[in-house]
Amino acid sequence: MAGPKLTHIDAGGAARMVDVSDKAATERVAVAEGRVTMSRATLDLVLSGNAKKGDVLGAARIAGIMAAKKTHDLIPLCHPLAITKVEIEISPDASAEDEARPALVVRATVKVTGQTGVEMEALTAVSVACLTVYDMIKAVERGAVIGGIRLIEKRGGKSGHYRAGEA
């Protein structure tokens, strides 16, 4: 009995780029999220805008947008896409129950009208934005932790709608 198949592996087991030429161009949206956990003092420094390297949140937003646009250069089998929207939101984690581990939540929304989805672009945007936050704060806190990077939602295309946490 055959189970699900990896789309980027051919019948001989070699990596391949998926042929999307027969797919319809439809609107596709992906939302990804990640977080950078740091001390309260570092978070306060970031939110005040007084970090040594400058505007941490602004730099991270720009880095995330640039990363989404360059995903095909970074992930070997991704298609280059004419992305129509990239939005990066960065905010303190309002749901953090453990006040001893404050964090910034980074959320990327990426949109395209095309033949393949933008999940990788959203995940890459979040990853690079989180790395940029780390780079901007490492002078005061090298122990910051990047984590929780995941796809939150995907809409459009043949596989339909996906939302994290739904069966």
- Whole-model pTM: value is 0.88
Residues 6+ apart with CB under 8 A from 130: 34, 35, 36, 60, 106, 146, 149
Cβ proximity of 118 and 104 under 8 Å: no
pLDDT tens by residue, 27-56: 999 999 999 999 999 999 999 987 777 899
pLDDT tens by residue, 86-108: 999 999 987 755 566 899 999 99
The full set of domains in the chain, from first to last, is: 26-163 (3.30.70.640)
Cite the active site residues. Answer: 135
